[in-house]
Amino acid sequence: MHTLAVPLPIIGLVGAFLTDLMFILTGQTYWASASHWLLGMGIGTGIAAAVFGVLDFATLDSVRTRVGWIHALGNVAVLILSIINLGVRLGISVPTVTMGQFALSGIVMLLLAVSGWMGVEMAFRRQMRVMQGLGLIPPDYLSR
């Protein structure tokens, strides 16, 4: 389920970065407003995806490898920074994006790239969940 849930927060947070960029380039307030909504979507769906990720992390010893830890901690950082980013925007009466908020969105993009790569490594290259459930992976392969 975790693999199925992650596209929505990625879409929301990447969309927020892109609409932040559009606001910086054009100054049109509807881009800033769209960023607020996309951040909210990314955070809400990210929390839902995290529930499934925590369940996998807690129940599968094979996920608690170096790759799994990088993925998990990276995504925790993504959610915390996104919550901070949205929090500072909510107190503003006219939608706007400051350079600091844009920088936070950029940092989130970098963290998503790293944690996403680790997630792809686990889910598709090592096929942990699918292959492990079928008993087709040797135990030493997952600890690499």
Taking residues 74-79, what's their average pLDDT?
A: 96
Question: What rounded mean pLDDT belongs to the chain?
Answer: 87
Taking residues 110-120, what's their average pLDDT?
A: 92
Q: How is the chain split into domains, by residue range? A: 2-142
Q: In terms of C-beta distances under 8 Å and separation of at least 24 residues, what long-range contacts does 91-97 make, across chains too? A: 94/29, 95/29, 95/30, 95/32, 95/33, 95/35, 95/36, 96/23, 96/29, 96/32, 97/20, 97/23, 97/24, 97/31, 97/32, 97/35
* Three-state SS at 10: helix
Query: CB–CB of 67/56 below 8 Å?
Result: no
The percent of residues in the chain predicted with pLDDT above 90, rounded, is 59
* pTM of the entire predicted model: 0.83
Q: What is the pLDDT of residue 140?
A: 55
Write out pLDDT tens, residues 119-132.
Answer: 888 877 666 654 45
Rounded Cα gap, residues 36 and 30, in angstroms: 10
Write out pLDDT tens, residues 34-50.
Answer: 999 999 999 999 999 99
Confidence of residue 56 (pLDDT cuts 50, 70, 90): confident
Q: What is the pLDDT of residue 139?
A: 54
Q: Check residues 118 and 111 and name the one with the higher pLDDT.
A: 111
Rounded Cα gap, residues 87 and 31, in angstroms: 17
The percent of residues in the chain predicted with pLDDT above 70, rounded, is 85
Rounded Cα gap, residues 6 and 53, in angstroms: 9
